[in-house]
Structure 1
Amino acid sequence: MNAPRLPQQGMLRALDSQFQSRHIIPDAAQQAAAERLQRLYDELVVFKHKRRSKLRKLVINPPIPRGVYLWGGVGRGKSLLMDCFFDTVPYQRKRRVHFHAFMREVHERLRALKKEEDPLLKVADRIARETRLMCFDEFHVSDIADAMILGRLMEALFERGVVFCLTSNYPPDGLYPNGLQRHSFLPTIKLLKEQLDVLEVDGGIDYRLRALEKVEVYHVPADAEGEAKMEAAFREISGGEGHQRPVNILERELPVQRRAIGVIWFDFATLCMGPRSQNDYLEIARRYHTVFLSGVPRMTRDQANEARRFTWLIDVFYDHKVKLVMTADCEAAELYREGPQATEFHRTVSRLIEMRTREYLGAQHKAEQ
């Protein structure tokens, strides 16, 4: 079999197109990260070819490519770098997932296998069969249940040949800060540093903040002009059109206007006029740094339930520093003036106003809180 021809800088070419469409001039840190991901791309292509050759004749196992850990502040293009890498790598068994969602799946699998001997290794076996390239976005550990199993799980996946690409707001040494039994987590940090190339993508321009400052984050009224502005804002922040596939939130499918990596667009009725709980909003806040919300009405005394859910929604988004872009029938102070939730709603009004400020728009999204 002939050696494979490496694509001519396929990942870098796709990334350059994305940078140009977003008017981004990559700095030295972004360029270094892009070149390292291109090298991993090339290594994965060669590795796949050699594994196929091994299936046909007895040859030595090819070395498994070394993964990458990208960390840095908000809006530095880490997710964009990983998106271009993931989209262009010619693998079928690859997965890009928010780290929190992945760990929830792991715990569900462990519960299903709790009667088995050493269920964690069985979970690792299944993941390795399903996925050869795993990309985690917003890698961060704050939960002790995750911290106590992550090291052994990652070690088992490394041993089974899974290649990782991670993005995080924190360096490995900054993971699980002040957590319970953090000393037990230190071997996991050591493992990550041994198995992955750690690159800092920090300093320079906050491109997410720049995009948010270009758009109108609170539009009155909720009319056709507002929807058109929302569409333009979605493209500006997400870098594309997104798609309209429903999103699964706590085992329920919710319709969306659009969604993309880290950005999602709902209408008010979907989030606040049905049987939604704070847990639904918490899940959305963990997975999406920016939420678009269409058609927030002027709520009447009879809409106390809707006002209560909207208050929960804003409280959760505020605590997680989710950026909110919305259309409404009126200014925040007029959204709900009379009814059983009116006193509590004063806090919601105050937060809606603060969520438009530059300080809030530039704050780091707290996926884990």
Structure 2
Amino acid sequence: MPEHASAPSHLVDRDPQVTPQQMAAALVPPPQFADASFESYRPDPDYPSQAEVRDTVAAFVASGAGAAAPRRGLFGRRRSAAPEAGAKSGVYLDGGFGVGKTHLLAAAYHAASGRKTFGTFIEYTALVGALGFQGTVDLLRGTALVCIDEFELDDPGDTMMMTRLIKELSETGTRFAATSNTPPGALGEGRFAAQDFLREIQAMSDRFDTLRIDGLDYRRRAVDESAAVVPDVAAALPAGAVTLDDFDAVVAHLGTVHPSKYVALVEGLDAVGLTDARPFTDQTDALRWVALVDRLYDAQVRIVASGTPLDAVYPQSMLDGGYRKKYLRAASRVVALTRAA
């Protein structure tokens, strides 16, 4: 470790306490996207849908209605009845990881007028857990635009809760913008019986229009790289606020901290050091790690690691399952974070 660096602390010693008020106040774009705009979005010329979606989302925000969006539902199904003109209350950005969906979502947040919120799906569900459903409705009522990043339907309870929340808020004039790495028709696929919740899913889909974004992962456009590893993590840690822990110890610690607190867990850090990373054997541990990687990426916290490259910690059996795109997104992000200057 550089001589001018202070002694590292330990991530496993952090046990953040977050109040509902702090959770609500944190519903803003992460620092990485604090200045995101439609103008600063750089579409790949080889994939025209990127520029088209940018322009459609910009028009959605500027007009206050989704009339300019394609006539498709959130889950790609044909609507049983066409809604009244201007009745659609949201846009859903569907595409792979690394095509700029979160940038466009943050741009929509910054361009929107009036009260607005920005958070991941898990942050909104955690808010419901802290405030209760009606308390969350009361808090968000009157919001002009609610941005939901990384929309997920991994849990049937969360599915029904979010559909109710969208329904109640949209009926009072709130509009929505959402992103997901999973094609809308496959949300929940391989994780729970999505067909059992068809009524709730269809009710939500009628309020959104799907915008498909094609393209390559921008984090890997230039060169196909793996996550970097170092022989001596302590020596490679940069100066600043850093932590140093055994990889297995961090994974175990994540099981004691609710994922809604992972933002606070990494707050103020410049880098995290992880020794002896190795492949996962438990899917719950792997999913908690994915949630931590998302928060590290949002905060642009560098990762310095030894052992197995962190984009190779998911066995093929996990990659073949319903969480494949989550794992691939995390793999893409750790490549960027371990190679950050």
| TM-score bin (small chain) | 0.5 to 0.7
What is the alpha-carbon root mean square deviation over aligned residues?
Answer: 4.8
Q: Report the Cα offset of residue 64 of structure 1.
A: 7.0
State the one-letter code of the partner of 1:72: G
* CA distance in structure 2 between the aligned counterparts of 1:295 and 1:181, rounded to whole angstroms: 39
TM-score by length of 1: 0.54
Q: Does 1:267 align with 2:290?
A: no
- The 1:283–1:69 alpha-carbon spacing in structure 2 relative to 1, beyond 3 Å, is same
Matched, 1:364 2:321: no
Question: How is 1:119-134 mapped onto 2 (pairs within 5 angstroms)?
Answer: 120-121=133-134, 123-129=136-142, 131-134=143-146
**Do the aligned partners of 1:95 and 1:133 also contact (CA within 8 Å) in 2?**
yes
Equivalent of 1:316, from 251, 264, 286? 286
| Structure 2 counterpart of 1:159 | 171
Query: What's 1:354 paired with?
Result: 312
Task: Tell me the residue number matched to 1:104.
Answer: 126
**Alignment pair present for 1:27 and 2:60:** no
Indicate yes or no: 2:22 matched with 1:44. no
Q: Kindly indicate whether the alpha-carbon contact (under 8 Å) linking 1:217 and 1:356 is maintained by their aligned counterparts in 2.
A: no
Equivalent residues of 1:217, 1:326 under 8 A apart: no
- The CA distance in 1 between the partners of 2:138 and 2:47, in whole Å, is 40
Q: What SS class does the counterpart of residue 326 from structure 2 fall into?
A: coil
Q: Which residue of 2 aligns with 1:278?
A: 255
Q: 1:206 to 1:280 in 2, by over 3 A?
A: same
Other structure's SS at 2:103 match = helix
Match of 1:237 in 2: none
Gaps of 5+ in 1: 1-12, 46-61, 111-119, 229-255, 258-265, 299-306, 333-348
TM-score, length basis structure 2: 0.58
| Displacement of 1:364 | 2.6
Structure 1 CA distance, aligned partners of 2:261 and 2:223?
Answer: 19
Matched residue, 1:169: 181
Give the Å deviation of 1:315: 4.9
Structure 2 counterpart of 1:164, one-letter code: F
Structure 2 equivalent of residue 81 of structure 1 = 104
In 1, Cα distance between equivalents of 2:263 and 2:314: 20
1:52 aligned partner: none
Asked whether 1:210 is paired with 2:221, we answer: yes
Q: Deviations along 1:37-82, whole A, 9 cap, x unmatched?
A: 110121139xxxxxxxxxxxxxxxx967732111111222111111
* Correspondent of 2:40 among 11, 17, 27: 17
Shift, 1:320, TM fit? 4.0
Match of 1:70 in 2: 93
Measured in 2, the distance between the counterparts of 1:297 and 1:170 equals: 32
Distance 1:314 1:153 in 2: 27
- Greater C-alpha Rg: 1
Give how far 1:313 is off. 12
- Give the counterpart of 2:211 among 199, 224, 231: 199
Higher helix share: 1
Q: CA deviation at 1:126?
A: 3.0
Compare relative contact order (CA 8 Å, sep 6+) and give the higher one, 1 or 2. Answer: 2
Label 1:132 to 1:64 Cα distance change in 2 as closer, same or farther (>3 A).
farther
Q: Distance in 2 between matches of 1:183 and 1:42?
A: 35
Number of aligned residues: 256
